[in-house]
Amino acid sequence: MENSNERVQVNLKMLVNLARSAALLKLTRHKIKAQQSGGYISRIKGRGMEFDEVRPYQAGDDIRSIDWRVTARTGKTHTKLFREERERPVFISVDYRQGMQFATRGVFKSVQAAKLATVLAWMAQKQGDRLGGQIFTDTHCRELKPSNGRPAVLHFLNALIKRDSTQQAISFEQIIARLSQHVKPGSLVYIISDFRGIDATCELSLAKLAKHCDMVMIFIYDPLESRLPKKGRFRFTHQQQECQVDTSHKARVLAYQQKFQHHEAELQRIALQLNIRLMTCNTSDQVTDILR
């Protein structure tokens, strides 16, 4: 169970300890195109671990791959073909904008995003994949180039902990556009966010990514964002700001809930249209249950 500080902010010890949870999970295998040996099956045929098919021998085929049983049975020389197992980059984009610094139960949305990203990072490292990422706020966006091993995971975790202080506004559409420029074809891409600000321009960038990458969108929300509590007055604070919400106003409550439902439906539409997997996670969920 998190202490009060870990509900609003992550620390290195907390993230490193999630390696034990990640050890029980694994990333889904997909067919991809890549350039090095690793844990995924590519569309490129050659010598490797996964048998693919037998076909008639062609000039230039490796004689070590001749299937002597089929050759003897048919009277014609046949060659075994294999699908090579290859690694691929796993690229994790994490939303740290102001809207993510919020929760009414569980942990802040930003903390939940960081925990999900961390478990995915440890899973990628366990499977021998290259790990890269993107961490963004309302005023800063940082990309981490994919690299191998535990040092890559620790580099990513430190980026999740350290907040850059550049004071230059950056929109969500600019962030998604940057993502489409940095991610290499064949990557497995996770975007962990509440997706506030997603629009038609963002959708175009997502479509560009989805053509060449496997993509997963993880929608983070607080239960209060989906449904206000029953009648009553509730006080909310943000630093020095404070406001009160009266949930006895039926029309206002209905409009609030419809706004969330519309946002969720729009994410579902985009995911379905672009063949992107959409997962939802609220601030009280166990991240391992969501990823399992």
Domains of the chain: 5-31+100-291 (3.40.50), 37-86 (no CATH)
Structure confidence by residue, pLDDT tens digits, 278-291 = 999 999 999 999 98
| Sequential DSSP letters for 263-275 | HHHHHHHHHHHHT
pLDDT at 2: 53
Token representation of residue 187:
């990557």
Task: Provide, for the chain, the percentages of residues in helix, strand and coil under a 3-state DSSP scheme, each rounded to the nearest 5.
Answer: 40, 30, 35
The list of the chain residues with pLDDT below 50 reads: 1, 30-49, 85
**C-beta separation of 185 from 33 below 8 A:** yes
Structure confidence by residue, pLDDT tens digits, 80-97 = 876 554 567 999 999 999
pLDDT at 172: 95
Q: Is 109 exposed, middle or buried (0-12, 13-18, 19+ CB in 10 A)?
A: buried
Q: Which neighbouring-strand residues pair with 134?
A: 93, 143
